[in-house]
Amino acid sequence: MKPAVGIREVARRAGVSNATVSNVLNRPEVVAPATRLRVLAAISELGFVRNESARQLRAGRSRVIAFVVLDAANPFFTDVARSVEDTARAAGLAVYLCNSATDAGREREYLELLHEQRVEGILITPVDADAERFAELLSRGTPVVLVDRETQDGTRCSVAVDDVLGGELAMTHLIETGHTRIAMVGGPLSIQQVRDRHQGALRALAQAGLPPESLTLLETKGLRVAEGRSAGERLVGLPSARRPTAAFCANDLLALGLLQSMTQQGLHVPEDLAVVGYDDIEFAAAAAVPLTSVRQPREQLGRTAAQLLLEEAEGDPDHVHRHVKFQPELVVRASTAVGRGRRPRS
């Protein structure tokens, strides 16, 4: 492999000092035009590419921020990441996208690596929002902003959606369309968003005067399509006398898997089972049965989170940590339409 061309080779070709080449790269205005053109010609002839990583390390900071997501396979997070990237690019920064896959150990490894890379700051949807490692990063000077998760102690900025309200909206809709036996599909409950959506569902039951037993929890190991299919098999296997006539899924991927399962078992949505998802990803409206879903403002989440991180990175001693909470919105489609005007099958 041909060795990389360095500043010394450029200086030798142009007949100038190493310092002059450095000035052309970093402060071109202090170099005489004729000399600057000679150095630029040598750079072009030799194919010199500056070592940006080394320069950033010497400066003690990089032009990169990172976004650590729970599940890169979930379109919700890639949509949020797209808005993060747009905001970062406008500020002259690049974005590293890291996938923790809801694994606390993997998340910890990424955070340590990102600190070693001296990134400008870290956006993260954490496995555990109360983890001490965030305090460690802050003490080392690496700003952290929580995304889709509310901070508990006020030591950092955060951006989230009111998931308790989102769960309440989904469950209220199913109750109003005539359902009294409803399944909640999602998990594990160690994920804060799932717990909040479950809490909202229970709150809607209480407000409707229905007992908690009206909700059957079908906890899943994750939030993927395959887990939704598995939950569908479990749901159909329940005794008919207590089998739910509707299901609220903790995200759209689970709901899409549940829809697939119903089709495979010869059942119809919404006649045999009404289904509500969460996130309103692009595939929700394009499903074989367009999916009713609780919409999260993904673009606003990403843009606001990135803006907060840029504010944190400025190092203003008067900076005040902020928590921004957005409101979800129910989008009704065909997967729950059976309740409009007639009651579901009992």
Paired with 95 in beta bridges are: 65
Whether 10 has a pLDDT exceeding 50, the answer reads yes
pTM: 0.80
* pLDDT tens string 92-140: 999 999 999 999 899 999 998 888 888 999 999 998 766 666 667 766 7
Whether 159 has a pLDDT exceeding 60, the answer reads yes
pLDDT of residue 319: 78
pLDDT grade for 218, boundaries at 50, 70 and 90: very high
Interatomic CA distance for residues 328 and 292, integer angstroms = 13
Interatomic CA distance for residues 170 and 98, integer angstroms = 31
Coil vs helix vs strand at 107: helix
- Classify residue 6 as exposed, middle or buried by CB count within 10 Å of its CB (0-12, 13-18, 19+): middle
CB 251 within 8 A of CB 226: no
CB 276 within 8 A of CB 247: yes
pLDDT grade for 53, boundaries at 50, 70 and 90: low
User: Taking the CB of residue 53, how many other CB atoms lie within 10 A of it?
Assistant: 12
DSSP code, position 158: E
